[in-house]
């Protein structure tokens, strides 16, 4: 019980972050994390002792998130960018990063969910490629190709927009 507290508790904030980035809805994401934690508590004794708690928890959460997203799709409800909770992004990225928040949000939302998941797990959650492969239940090669495709798509989407904006900025100056 005690090692469960010690191992799981520090992971709750990252789990929330991943859920919110995937679902783009604060309440739905927290529901999902709660669901994930309840399952983790119930299955704690079933987890492989040699497996690390982080991959295990992210895998539970990821599967719940994918189920949720597919259910929403089946019901014909596409979560549009405009519908997404504004509080998903609580802070503006700094100006020198040169990427506009709306653009980032829109571009990320446009990615296929499998590419979005890999990018978030690797770029934001700092999972290794092997850990991401475990979470997603795919070979590492698949992780790498999804990562490459997703990043390229995101880059192109983001580079179109700043170009348009720069001309406007120049006019103001």
Query: Quick one: tokens of 99?
Result: 């990427």
48, 74, 91, 173: residue in contact with other proteins (rule CB under 8 A): 91
State yes or no: residue 110 binds other proteins (CB under 8 A). no
The radius of gyration computed from the CA coordinates of the chain, to the nearest angstrom, equals: 18
In the complex, least distance from residue 74 CB atom to other proteins, rounded to whole angstroms: 27
Query: Quick one: tokens of 146?
Result: 């999804």
With beta carbons less than 8 A apart as the criterion, state whether 132 and 122 touch. Answer: yes
Considering the complex, state which of residue 73 and residue 98 has its C-beta at the smaller distance from other proteins: 98
Chain positions 15 to 74 lying near other proteins, rule: CB under 8 A, are: 16-17, 20-21, 30, 33-34, 37-38, 41-42
Taking the CA atoms of residue 35, residue 39, residue 42 and residue 43 in that order, the dihedral angle to the nearest 10 degrees is -170
The torsion region of residue 21 among left (phi > 0), alpha (psi -120 to 50) and beta comes to alpha
Q: Which stretch binds other proteins (CB under 8 A): 2-10, 53-61, 71-79, 164-172?
A: 2-10
Considering the complex, state which of residue 94 and residue 167 has its C-beta at the smaller distance from other proteins: 94
The torsion region of residue 137 among left (phi > 0), alpha (psi -120 to 50) and beta comes to left
State yes or no: residue 104 binds other proteins (CB under 8 A). yes
Considering the complex, state which of residue 30 and residue 113 has its C-beta at the smaller distance from other proteins: 30
How many Å apart are CA 133 and CA 147, to the nearest integer? Answer: 11
State yes or no: residue 128 binds other proteins (CB under 8 A). yes
How many Å apart are CA 113 and CA 104, to the nearest integer? Answer: 15
Give the footprint of other proteins on this chain (CB under 8 A). Answer: 1, 4-5, 8-9, 12-14, 16-17, 20-21, 30, 33-34, 37-38, 41-42, 88-91, 93-94, 97-99, 101, 104-105, 108, 119-120, 122-124, 128-129, 144, 147-148, 151-152, 154-155, 158-159
């Amino acid at each position: 019980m005690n090692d469960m507290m010690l191992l799981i508790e520090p992971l709750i904030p990252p789990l929330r972050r991943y859920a919110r980035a995937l679902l783009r809805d604060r309440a739905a994401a927290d529901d999902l994390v709660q669901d994930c934690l309840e399952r983790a508590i119930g299955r704690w004794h079933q987890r492989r002792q040699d497996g690390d708690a982080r991959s295990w928890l992210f895998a539970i959460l990821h599967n719940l998130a994918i189920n949720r997203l597919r259910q929403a799709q089946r019901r014909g409800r596409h979560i549009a960018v405009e519908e997404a909770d504004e509080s998903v992004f609580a802070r503006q990225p700094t100006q020198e990063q040169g990427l506009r928040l709306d653009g980032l949000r829109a571009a990320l939302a446009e990615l296929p969910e499998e590419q979005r998941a890999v990018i978030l797990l690797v770029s934001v959650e700092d999972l290794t490629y092997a850990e991401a492969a475990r979470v997603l239940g795919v070979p590492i090669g698949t992780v790498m190709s999804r990562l490459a495709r997703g990043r390229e798509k995101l880059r192109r989407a983001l580079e179109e927009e700043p170009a348009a904006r720069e001309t406007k900025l120049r006019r103001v100056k």
